């Protein structure tokens, strides 16, 4: 069974992120879910991103890196949207990474100044018409990354919803979320 460090999105540590963690735990995986916003929840992506901007995106990433500090190195790093930033950073820079699961986001590796480590598999999930994923350049960056990286997979779902796998949000899409969970669980079963 895998050990996973899962990072929340810009709304904060919602009950839906907790439900997703419980889905993974229900399959026998150990899941750690730190609160990068220190208990704060927001009513929109925009409000959460404004908070992240206020405290600094580097602070958000540093909190994620700190959360990993007391855990073993052999983790799968996972993150929803904003949470993909610390997940990617750790998968790129922390020795022993077993994989990465990136939901609704992909940060070009040049942002981190690093190359993807050999032998670290990754799944990237997003909706094919999600403005936050498509218009930001994440989708193009993810496609280029997957084309050039062994062990990288991109899964696109029909629709325009951002954070479609969080059942506590209005953007939840149950069929797409179930498929995402199945694919994530299949990935974790081999870690």
Virtual CA dihedral for 116, 118, 121, 126, nearest 10 degrees? 20
pLDDT band at 171 (very low <50, low <70, confident <90, very high): very high
- Give the mean pLDDT of 143-147: 97
Q: Is pLDDT of 15 > 90?
A: yes
Q: Which two tokens stand for residue 71?
A: 């855990």
Interaxial angle between packed helices 84-93 and 57-68, expressed in degrees from 0 to 180 and rounded to the nearest 10: 50
Q: What local confidence, expressed as pLDDT, does residue 140 receive? A: 97
Domain positions in the chain: 3-188
- The contacts found for 14-17 with CB under 8 angstroms, 24 or more apart, are 14/41, 14/166, 14/168, 14/169, 15/168, 16/165, 16/166, 16/167, 16/168, 16/169, 16/172, 17/80, 17/166, 17/168
Q: Is pLDDT of 36 > 90?
A: yes
Ordered alpha helix ranges (H), 56-188: 57-68, 84-93, 131-134, 138-148, 174-188
Of all residues in the chain, what percent carry a pLDDT higher than 90? 97
- Give the mean pLDDT of 10-28: 98
Spatial contact of 162 and 156, defined as CB atoms under 8 Å apart:
no
Q: What local confidence, expressed as pLDDT, does residue 114 receive? A: 87
Q: What local confidence, expressed as pLDDT, does residue 151 receive? A: 96
Q: What local confidence, expressed as pLDDT, does residue 143 receive? A: 97
Q: What local confidence, expressed as pLDDT, does residue 84 receive? A: 97
Q: What local confidence, expressed as pLDDT, does residue 8 receive? A: 98
Average pLDDT across the chain, whole number: 97
- Give the mean pLDDT of 115-134: 96
Non-local (6+) Cβ contacts of 80 within 8 A are 7, 8, 9, 17, 103, 104, 105, 163, 165, 166
Q: What is the pLDDT of residues 58-112, one digit of tens each?
A: 999 999 999 999 899 899 999 999 999 999 999 999 999 999 999 999 999 999 9
CATH architecture of 3-188: 3-Layer(aba) Sandwich (3.40)
Q: Which two tokens stand for residue 155?
A: 């899964």
Interaxial angle between packed helices 15-26 and 174-188, expressed in degrees from 0 to 180 and rounded to the nearest 10: 40
- Give the mean pLDDT of 107-119: 92
Q: What local confidence, expressed as pLDDT, does residue 62 receive? A: 97
């Amino acid at each position: 069974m895998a050990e996973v460090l899962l990072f929340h999105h810009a709304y904060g540590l919602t009950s839906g992120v907790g439900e997703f963690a419980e889905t993974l735990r229900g399959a026998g995986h150990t899941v750690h879910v730190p609160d990068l916003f220190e208990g704060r929840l927001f009513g929109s992506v925009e409000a959460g991103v404004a908070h992240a901007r206020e405290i600094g995106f580097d602070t958000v990433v540093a909190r994620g890196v700190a959360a990993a500090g007391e855990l073993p190195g052999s983790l799968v790093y996972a993150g929803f949207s904003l949470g993909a930033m610390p997940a990617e950073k750790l998968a790129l820079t922390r020795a022993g990474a077993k994989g990465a699961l990136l939901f609704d986001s992909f940060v070009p590796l040049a942002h981190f100044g690093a190359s993807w480590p050999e032998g670290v598999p990754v799944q990237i999930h997003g909706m094919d018409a999600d403005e936050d994923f498509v218009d930001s350049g994440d989708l193009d960056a993810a496609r280029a990354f997957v084309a050039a990286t062994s062990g990288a997979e991109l899964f696109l779902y029909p629709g325009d919803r951002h954070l479609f796998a969080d059942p506590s949000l209005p953007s939840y899409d149950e069929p797409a979320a179930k498929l995402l969970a199945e694919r994530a669980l299949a990935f974790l079963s081999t870690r």
